[in-house]
Amino acid sequence: MTELGVELDCLAGVKVVDFTQFEAGPSCTESLAWLGAEVVKVENPGVGDPGRRLQAPGAPDNDPWYFHQFNANKKSITVNLKSPRGLEIVKAMLAKADVTVENMAPGTIERLGLGYDEVKKINPGIIYCQVKGFGTGSPYEKSLAFDMIAQAAGGPTSVTGEAGQPPVKPGPSFGDTGTGMLMAISILGALYKRAQTGQGRRLQVAMQDAMIHYMRVPFSRTQLTGKAPARGGSTKSQQGGLVPSALYPCKPGGPNDYVYIFCSRGNPEHWQRLLKVIGREDLKGDERYDTQNARSQRPAEVDEIITAWTRDHTKEEAMKIIGEAGVPAGAVFDTAELMAEPSLAERGIMQTIDHPTTGKVKMPAWPVRFDGRTAKVKPSPLLGQHNTEVLAGWLGMSAAEIDGLKAEGILGN
Amino acid sequence: MTELGVELDCLAGVKVVDFTQFEAGPSCTESLAWLGAEVVKVENPGVGDPGRRLQAPGAPDNDPWYFHQFNANKKSITVNLKSPRGLEIVKAMLAKADVTVENMAPGTIERLGLGYDEVKKINPGIIYCQVKGFGTGSPYEKSLAFDMIAQAAGGPTSVTGEAGQPPVKPGPSFGDTGTGMLMAISILGALYKRAQTGQGRRLQVAMQDAMIHYMRVPFSRTQLTGKAPARGGSTKSQQGGLVPSALYPCKPGGPNDYVYIFCSRGNPEHWQRLLKVIGREDLKGDERYDTQNARSQRPAEVDEIITAWTRDHTKEEAMKIIGEAGVPAGAVFDTAELMAEPSLAERGIMQTIDHPTTGKVKMPAWPVRFDGRTAKVKPSPLLGQHNTEVLAGWLGMSAAEIDGLKAEGILGN
């Protein structure tokens, strides 16, 4: 496989002490690592970040895939934070860091002695970042959150699903990575300023609040009508809405054999082009269908006209033919299909890493191209892989000192 | 209403020439504006960004809500890009800019004479950014995309919906704002480096590729099993999966009266705590339910045990009682409920702006707190509101010159 990734050096020299776990925090620090920051994950000896899904020290690592996704390009050290010497080491690292990020349960980092006030004393110029489920001052401030909780409490679940049916949680973990991305933007803004002024910052984001940021189209409908939007699913164009705008079934009829087809309000040409490619130019000028206003009164008829054509085509054919005609069309691709799509690998959007224990893994990369190339994905670290490198590099420890720490169990082995 | 927002100056002095429209591009440049950059939207005279939903010049602005969300804190100038003088003005602005962003249909910016090669000649240090539906080199490279197309072609739709039913597009516009956030991170990384080196960059992201970034949990399941994950909805815990992990119905039974309840794999205490708060301590130690492994074989029984309690509580009560007991729980809040939630306004996550034509609007703010405060939301600009300010400020034009341009129709009025 061609290696298209390039090592980005945008954040070269930026040091991040990373206390994050699972996804909301790790996705944030990983984006900094992809941009070239040195991100050191501080993990508990034993099983480390619970996102590693390690059952017990030494047990087979039989599900490393989740961890690989969110911890590429990072380093890992293991330090027992409950030992005074371990805490001292981490504080020495924080004294040298530009950024630190944590997303532990409410109150945990403070109980470890690494709350904002403590860390600020050690390093007033640090950018200290916290991701929680709910905001300080919210009625749910002390509650735990995971992706599905954030997507419920922040709105996304309420607008997903079929008309008249219960809500559905959106499948992807937008609650986690969607939050991580907002924190990454904020950190980078703070870093830009800090490069000029040395100014430290405390940054905090709640997953519930982050979801609201992604809910602004539904909010704009509530501002218009005063009501929460009703769910409408997506397999039918809606009476009074944009028509067509729906998922249409394709051959051979598998669970994901659908294509989304959409004619925008702003471009009347979309409908004319669509009629042409589906062989229904006989309907050109037909006043039942010729304008959005007319079609919005006949959604079922319009859907049937389109379905008669899509049923005879695969979703790939439909997407290509309709898309090339200048009408928005998107096949419903699933992860297996995307994993097998050659152009994603050719373009460096999927990259194959060679992990020391897992072996070759094809995985998504940071999808933005810098001067035509994506960032090179490097394997996620083994637990404690960089103990020696980081303690020597950051803190100037000698090999003998590090061996001493290991012997005392401070580093867990 | 208390005004909690503060004007952030992280990106003070950063100049952005903004050619974006609708949401994927505008959400990106808006995040830069919230961090303090000077973002100038360049709009066509007449109706401007189609996201304004203006019907015609001078027609009533009866649906400004969508535009307000994605263009807060920006400036607007109107320039006829098809006039040689208009193009010259925009090029003079690009010569002074740090960043430019566009998300027009494929080929459009190049046809305007503002493609990367042209702009690089004017300003080699610029960060030139493009958001498209599909990547250069993708089979769909020239196709249009909107949110629903990206969510279909990038995977999210395939993992959303009920078991055995067609896929459902996730309701929020993750395809748009989700893409904008990844571009914002990349811009900020490039800006950080550029402050040291002056290095310009070309950044490109495709909405399909951006969706893959949010799909990494489903990808991790495909890496484990070789298959695309089947849809499972969210109103039932799944046989063999985490149990409980579902939406449970609450009183009074409205369309969004559900609470998500979840017991994590890593914390066996969650189930014990849950039994206590729902008054079923009689089941403590019952081997049918006591471990995740046991419960994963009896999802329907577990769901019924929990539903018997949730049916007698509102979702707010359920979320509060279960959450305070240390078990992850999230009510399904809809936009109307979130709009009315006092703590969101008290915490500055929702802010009320006073727009010159729309009046008071309560809207979501950038949800990350900087030293305890969110960024102050300023109203989205009127079309061409900043013509004089920007042309004088950026290009040193005199009032007479600007009047001349207006008289010639270059600025559209």
Closest Cα in chain A, distance from residue B389 (Å) = 25
Tokens of B179: 């893409």
Cβ contact A191:B191 at 8 Å: no
Using DSSP, state whether A400 is helix, strand or coil.
helix
Label residue A351 exposed, middle or buried (CB < 10 Å: 0-12, 13-18, 19+): buried
B-facing residues of A in 270-309 (CB < 8 A) are none
Cβ contact B77:B41 at 8 Å: yes
Cα(B330)–Cα(B252) distance, integer angstroms: 17
Over residues B368-374, the mean pLDDT reads 96
Q: What is the pLDDT of residue B413?
A: 56
Contact state of B234 with A332 under an 8 Å Cβ cutoff: no
Of A135, A339, A372, the CB nearest to B349: A135
Over residues B338-357, the mean pLDDT reads 96
Q: What is the strand order of the sheet A201-206 is part of?
A: A75-78, A38-43, A15-19, A99-102, A127-132, A201-206, B369-370
Q: Of B18, B98, B147, B176, which is the active-site residue?
A: B176
Q: Which among A50, A44, A151 has a CA at the least distance from the CA of A90?
A: A44
Most A CBs within 10 A among B192, B236, B292, hence the mutation to make, goes to B192
Of B14, B185, B209, the CB nearest to A349: B209
Cβ contact A183:A131 at 8 Å: yes
Beta bridge mates, A64:
none
Q: Taking the CB of residue B99, how many other CB atoms lie within 10 A of it?
A: 26
Residues in A touching B244 (Cβ below 8 Å): none
Give chain B's mean pLDDT: 96
Predicted confidence (pLDDT) per residue in A365-410, tens digit: 999 999 999 999 999 999 999 999 999 999 999 999 999 999 999 9
Q: Does A201 touch chain B (CB under 8 A)?
A: yes
CATH code linked to domain A245-333: 3.30.1540.10
Cα(B191)–Cα(A188) distance, integer angstroms: 9
Q: Which among A144, A339, A182 has a CA at the least distance from the CA of B325?
A: A144
Q: What is the pLDDT of residue A1?
A: 41
Cβ contact B299:B352 at 8 Å: no
- Give Cβ neighbours of residue B173 (< 8 Å, ≥ 6 apart): A214, A216, A217, B23, B147
Q: Does A370 touch chain B (CB under 8 A)?
A: yes
Q: Taking the CB of residue A382, how many other CB atoms lie within 10 A of it?
A: 16
Using DSSP, state whether B265 is helix, strand or coil.
coil
Cα(A12)–Cα(A35) distance, integer angstroms: 8
Angle at B7 between CA B6 and CA B11, to 5 degrees: 135
Q: Does A216 touch chain B (CB under 8 A)?
A: yes
Predicted confidence (pLDDT) per residue in B288-297, tens digit: 999 999 999 9
Per-residue burial over A158-190, b = 16 or more CB atoms within 10 Å of its CB, e = otherwise: bbbbbeeebbbbbbbbbbbbbbbbbbbbbbbbb
Q: Does B241 touch chain A (CB under 8 A)?
A: no
Regions of chain A with pLDDT less than 70: 1-3, 413
Cβ contact A244:A261 at 8 Å: yes
Q: Taking the domains of chain B in order of start, what are their residue ranges?
A: 15-214+341-408, 245-334
Q: What is the strand order of the sheet A329-331 is part of?
A: A245-249, A258-262, A329-331
Sign of CA dihedral B299, B302, B304, B307: negative
Contact state of B361 with A35 under an 8 Å Cβ cutoff: no
Cα(B46)–Cα(B57) distance, integer angstroms: 5
Q: What is the pLDDT of residue A388?
A: 97
φ and ψ at residue B43, rounded to 5 degrees? -120, 155
Q: Does B59 touch chain A (CB under 8 A)?
A: no
| Helical axes A315-324 vs A269-277, angle rounded to 10° | 130
Scanning the structure block, which residue is given the tokens 């928005």?
A: A328
The full DSSP string for A273-340 is: HHHHHTT-GGGTT-TTTSSHHHHTT-HHHHHHHHHHHHTTS-HHHHHHHHHHTTS-EEE---HHHHHT
According to DSSP, residue B355 is labeled: E
Residues in B touching A13 (Cβ below 8 Å): none
Cα A37 to chain center, whole Å?
A: 18
Side-chain-side CA neighbours of B10 within 13 Å: the count stands at: 27
Q: Taking the CB of residue B288, how many other CB atoms lie within 10 A of it?
A: 12
Closest Cα in chain A, distance from residue B400 (Å) = 36
Residues in A touching B339 (Cβ below 8 Å): 219, 222
Whether B176 is catalytic: yes
- Give Cβ neighbours of residue B108 (< 8 Å, ≥ 6 apart): none
Over residues B84-106, the mean pLDDT reads 97
Beta bridge mates, B103:
none
Closest Cα in chain B, distance from residue A89 (Å) = 26
Give the CA diameter of chain A.
85
Q: Does A139 touch chain B (CB under 8 A)?
A: yes
Cβ contact B248:B321 at 8 Å: no
Cα(B151)–Cα(B105) distance, integer angstroms: 18
Of A185, A213, A235, the CB nearest to B185: A185
Q: Does B214 touch chain A (CB under 8 A)?
A: yes
Q: Which among A169, A163, A167, A171 has a CA at the least distance from the CA of A237?
A: A163
Residues of A classed as catalytic = 176
| Helical axes B315-324 vs B269-277, angle rounded to 10° | 130
Q: Does A255 touch chain B (CB under 8 A)?
A: yes
Per-residue burial over B337-373, b = 16 or more CB atoms within 10 Å of its CB, e = otherwise: bbbebeebbebbbbbebebeebeebbbbbbbbbbeee
pLDDT at B106 over 50: yes
Of A9, A336, A371, the CB nearest to B228: A336
Q: What is the pLDDT of residue B332?
A: 98
The enclosing H or E element of A100 equals strand A99-102
Q: Does A146 touch chain B (CB under 8 A)?
A: yes
Side-chain-side CA neighbours of A119 within 13 Å: the count stands at: 30
Cβ contact A200:B159 at 8 Å: no
Cβ contact B244:B295 at 8 Å: yes
Cα(B15)–Cα(B19) distance, integer angstroms: 13
Cβ contact A105:A24 at 8 Å: no
Tokens of B99: 């960043």
Of B177, B208, B219, the CB nearest to A69: B219
Question: Could you tell me which CATH class the domain B245-334 is placed in?
Answer: alpha beta
Beta bridge mates, B19:
B102
Q: What is the pLDDT of residue A412?
A: 81
Q: What is the pLDDT of residue B336?
A: 98
Using DSSP, state whether A116 is helix, strand or coil.
helix
Q: Which among B283, B276, B258 has a CA at the least distance from the CA of B324?
A: B276
Q: Where are the alpha helices (DSSP H) in B214-254?
A: 216-225
At the second CATH level, the architecture of B15-214+341-408 is 3-Layer(aba) Sandwich (3.40)
Residues in B touching A196 (Cβ below 8 Å): 195
